[in-house]
Structure 1
């Protein structure tokens, strides 16, 4: 019986965190989309330069200007977002490990080039850039969203295929297919926020853990006495009473006080309105999980 109570409690705990965690991830995907759009445009312009100017010095200067402009816009946007919506601790910790992993991989890349195990030429440089960016997106995708992971996988396949089979078309492929893919990912992440906005539709009257537990038990048993609810949810009389009062005020439950063997007994039953609200709540949860 204790195991059953633990499992019920664990399920309710997980459900009560869905709104919070999904909100954080959705908001961060929305914030991230602007970076994909910025760097998608920079990729298209940067990799198009060698098509217009054969001089490698001119191309290098343009890349330097674009890179500086891109980082200025990126950092400005980042600090503005950080002030408006601080990143939650669990996500910040995950991203710290992601950036650490990327730093280690970048260090290995530089070491291999310095010792001559990776050839360093101007022809190879665009491929190395694409490869490093694809690794970064793979790592970020593990933390944030599958769309970013897919983008990283796609860029790595595109980079290797182009380098091996179409080296003469590298710049034009990276410019329009690679840059276009980044832009598309930015748009998809922006749309993801709209698709998952139903997380805000979760019924706040039902969502708290204890009230969700009350409604779940009433959907199973239709009627429960106060003692049964208290034992099943492991709460105090006062805590349970305050939650029942809110559900009663909303018209979701009906509370009947009676006597059994000359002892007072409180019976709680679910109303038609409460049953409808609970089913709607589950529908929203299902929609959120499908869009994860």
Structure 2
């Protein structure tokens, strides 16, 4: 019997990408610019990608979509989206009408985690916590191969907890876009790290300067590692995951995987920490692959 075809779509802020998977094999990949601030045009972009992929492959498939937000379990419309044109829209219902088939939606961090737990760095682990360290800080949880969901559709949103064990060395309080002060995202996102460093560099420049041995940048990176360890320690104390997989632009800093694990021990309620800290296997492709994996 032929393995089913699954389409995964990553609806990003600047590009919309589709992938076609048959088992774990990639059959097709394509992307188009995401229409800025235009909901109807975004719908048509997704439909176009699916139709053209089906025409090229000569077969139809299931459709899963990763979005920069989440579908409310209360009313089915999109909430918590940084692409604000999606907020309040019945994205799932509209796409099901246009594509004439069921569609599954999930937060993009959930899709990342599902991808890495299915055939990525966390494959074979009973429990995986996936972390996005990029323009924001997100997360997802996969238990025994299935995404963990809850009544609020916010499982894994550790970036909007306050930084734990705060000290004066962490600097002054900063307001998060969510309206609260000192969310983890204001420390560990790329823009948050860059702003708090006070060096006038963006995150990529800051990481490069640290690697080049610039003392102030190295100090900023060490502080980042300590803050990341504190944030992840609370996750380990709560979930005790077998693996934590890092994604997003800052996950490419190799020093994180050397420096953070020894720093966890002080804050994790255990004599030693057996949770593995791993870089994503599929890198930037994990989100779109995870969207395809929304259909088992």
Report TM bin, short chain: under 0.3
Q: Give me the TM-score of the superposition, normalised by structure 1.
A: 0.23
Larger RCO of the pair (alpha carbons < 8 Å, separation 6+): 1
Counting strand residues as a fraction of each chain, which structure ranks higher? 2
- TM-score of the aligned structures, taking structure 2 as reference length: 0.23
Which has the larger share of helix?
1
